[in-house]
Chain A
Amino acid sequence: MAKPAVLIVEDNKINALVLRKAIEPICNPIHVVNDHETFEAIHARIFELILMDINLGSNSLDGEAIMKIIKQNPDYQAIKIFAVTGYAMPGDRERFLAAGFDGYFSKPIEKEAILEGIRNAINPDTAQAAA
């Protein structure tokens, strides 16, 4: 049984590694670093979930803008998108969820919380069907 594909959008390679290591037990993580690569990746193959950093540096759209573009495309309606970000001031969670993210996790990440979120988000039947 193949694990569901999860796209990690994260410009910091250390944090990408941490996130990849955290979710590896239940997913098949693919890592990209900016807006352009994100669009290429979701165009090339089907993802169940995207873990999206917000601040992707000055050469990329931020995670929120990317999320909105993806959500506008009817082809990608099935993709769930979680914000995984260092923006963790009071009100940030509400702000990101209101913007359209399907979930919010602050950094430093809590491994168990993220795994729980992923399990809830990904329909096991779909995961098996994709396999």
Chain B
Amino acid sequence: MFELLRKVWGDFSDLGVSAQVTPEEAKRTRLTNRITLLGSLLMISHLLHYASEGLWLIFGIQFLTVCTILSAPLLNYLNRPTWARMSMLTSATISALFTSSLLGFESGEHLAFFVILLMAMGVFGLQHWPWLAVIFGLILTCYCLLEGTGYQLWGLGKLPMPEGHETYVVNFVITLVLCGLIGLHFQQLSGAQVGEISRRARRQLQAAFDNSYDAMFLADIQDFRITESNARGRDMFDAADKLDFRGRRIAELKLIPFTPAELEDIRSQLENHKEYVLEFECLSFRQRIFWGAAAFTLFQYDDHTLLMLRVTDISERKAVEAEMLKARQRAESANIAKAHFLANMSHEIRTPINGVIGLAEVIQSEYEDASLQQYADFILESGQRLLRTISAILDLSRLESEAEILLSDTDMHQLLVLVAKPYQTQAEAQGLYFRIESAPGQYIAHTDPALIQKVLDHLISNAVKFTKQGGITLRCDISPLPESGPPQLVVSVADTGIGMSQQFIESKLFQKFEQESTGLDRNFEGAGLGLSITKRIVEVLDGRIEVSSVQHQGSVFTLRLPLARFFHPASSQQ
């Protein structure tokens, strides 16, 4: 039983305590709660007395008082302080009026009674709330006026007087307690409390300032002298203590100090935009140089404006940035050097080839001798081949560094016919058939015509080169819709030539400088560069190249390219 009472006492005492920030406030809240509970218990004991006497009107009034007074801590706990104070005020007023009438005071005596009550409140801290005294004065005046006409106006009739003086004394004590409670409650909002809130705000501000991960400085807006610094700021600038900054100017934190004009600019910017951000190299007290990102802000403190400077150490970021810049410059200069080298190599090879080919032509045109003519032919052939090889190497190098793609909607049939033309003549001269199975305007690819022309040229020239009987078939089609993905344009170059072994296709076909037959008995010209270039180009164009081949039966190279438009043969006839 005792334990239960203690628990109720403790719980009630702690109502709303956790919401208080400072120990003083917690203590005061607990005190208020305890006085409230004690006062209530006192009144409840009296309630029982009224009940036993059958004085139900007085019982009702007192019961209301108890309810309102007990609701105050609860409302406080529910974070409704204003309501709590109102209920406190209500209960005190009821109690005061009731006690006063019980005591049977005359008008003058009421006045004296209320003065005593006001003094009791003042003792508990109501001195900061003079208007409360005014309210009580007004209530008092009304009460005194009403006194003349009796209680009839309240509809109460003359209150029945309980027996015994102890009742008056107890009621008087209760009223005093209530008034004291009001004092205590209102004190939380009184000047003392406001001061406490402001002190707390300042403490929080100070804590934020002191514990900031960034260096923080306060300075005078007029002369930019530092007045305050935080721990991180002292760390960052290698200062032993706050005194190191005393009298220093903001400008001195910068490796190349701010000029007066710059400071003036900062000031005017701040006055217009509220914040000024820049990055600069900082200089510490030990002459250490580091990169800082600084943000200037103006802020109002009491009546004067202060300049706040926040500095973040960004040395690491700057180092990374510098490294990246260096790497990019290196890459760029390497690229330029490569392009330059390629251009020079092209020039240096073309110049002597010009002599070789040109003079072979001169010999051909100036000498009738058959063997001279033949030798000149050989020279020409070798020269042309060297030129093709060089061009292929340059193409490949260029594709690997920069692929300048110009995509457009390309009629693949037209392109096929254009590329095939010289080879068609050549093939037919060798007794091969040469078919083009496509129709104009049906197969529009979204691709780079110049690059794809190069690809087709390689594929068709290879087909002609490696085919000794049968022939070549070029075909354009829309891919037989695969399970997923958009339809593609499929261009195939099929020959009935020597074919390739599976092993060669898998391991070497698209590698650079590979040709199936190596060694002295090579029958077929070419550096084997064509297919690796082809593959590279097709990849650059978001396409794919596939090959199937049977040795001694022929090869089929298939290009898959993004489709721009598809004209169904039926609809294209409309």
Contacts of B348 in A (CB 8 A): 86
B353 interfacial contact with A, CB 8 Å: yes
Stretch at the interface among B10-18, B210-218, B358-366, B564-572: B358-366
Pairwise interchain contact A108-B358, C-beta atoms closer than 8 A: yes
Q: CA–CA, A12 to B347, complex, Å?
A: 13
Cβ of B401 to closest chain A Cβ, rounded Å: 12
Judged by a CB distance under 8 angstroms, whether B343 is at the interface is yes
Given known contacts A14-B359, A55-B347, A108-B387, is B342 in contact with A89 (CB within 8 Å)?
A: yes
How far, in Å, is A115 (CB) from chain B's closest CB? 12
- B383: chain A residues at CB < 8 Å are 108
Known: A14-B359, A21-B362, A89-B394. A108 touches B347 (CB 8 A): no
Chain B residue nearest to A111 in the complex (CB)? B361
The yes or no answer to B34 lying at the interface (CB within 8 A) is no
Q: Hey, which chain A residues are within 8 Å of B356, CB to CB?
A: 108
Range of interface residues on B (Cβ < 8 Å)? 20 to 34
| Given A107-B353, A108-B383: A86 touches B358 (CB 8 Å cut-off) | no
Q: Kindly state whether residue B440 has any CB partner on chain A within 8 Å.
A: no
Contacts known (A17-B359, A18-B359, A22-B358); A87 close to B347, Cβ less than 8 A: yes
Q: How many A-B residue pairs have CB under 8 A?
A: 66
- Whether A108 touches B353, Cβ cut-off 8 Å, given contacts A86-B348, A88-B346, is yes
| Chain B residues positioned under 8 Å from A34 (CB to CB) | none
CB pair A15 B355 closer than 8 Å: yes
Interface residues of B in 419-477 (CB under 8 A from A): none
Contacts of A12 in B (CB 8 A): 351, 355
B350 interfacial contact with A, CB 8 Å: yes
A106 at the interface (CB under 8 A from B): yes
Cβ A86 vs Cβ B351 within 8 A? yes
| Nearest chain B residue, comparing its CB with the CB of A11 | B351
Complex-state Cα separation, A86 to B349, whole angstroms: 8
The binding surface of chain B is classed by DSSP as helix
Chain A interfacial residues counted at CB < 8 A: 21
Least CB distance, A58 to chain B, in whole angstroms: 14
The answer to whether A86 and B350 touch (CB under 8 A), given A21-B362, A108-B383, is yes
In the bound complex, residues from chain B placing their C-beta under 8 Å from that of A15 are 351, 354-355, 358
Tell me whether A38 is interfacial, beta carbon within 8 Å.
no
Q: Looking at A86, A90, A111, which has the most chain B CB atoms within 10 Å of its CB?
A: A86
Give Cα A17 to B342, complex, Å.
27
User: Which residues of chain A are within 8 angstroms of B347 by Cβ–Cβ distance?
Assistant: 55, 85-88
Interface residues of A in 56-87 (CB under 8 A from B): 85-87
**Which A residues from 1 to 43 make CB contacts under 8 A with B?**
12, 14-15, 17-19, 21-22
Task: Please tell me if the beta carbons of B351 and A89 are within 8 angstroms of each other in the complex.
Answer: no
Which residue from chain A places its CB closest to the CB of B355 in the assembled complex? A14
B351 is contacted by which of A19, A21, A90, A107 (Cβ under 8 Å)? A107
Question: Is A122 engaged at the interface, CB distance under 8 Å to the other chain?
Answer: no
Point out the residues of chain A lying under 8 angstroms from B226, CB to CB: none
* A88 CA to B394 CA, complexed, in Å: 11
Select which of A18, A55, A92 is within 8 A of B354 by beta carbon.
Answer: A18
Which B residues lie within 8 Å of A90 (CB)? 398
**Apart from A15-B351, A86-B347, 6 more pairs, CB < 8 Å:** A14-B358, A18-B359, A19-B358, A87-B346, A87-B347, A89-B398
9 A-B pairs with the lowest CB-CB distances in the bound complex, closest first: A18-B358, A86-B350, A107-B354, A14-B355, A86-B347, A108-B354, A86-B351, A108-B357, A21-B362
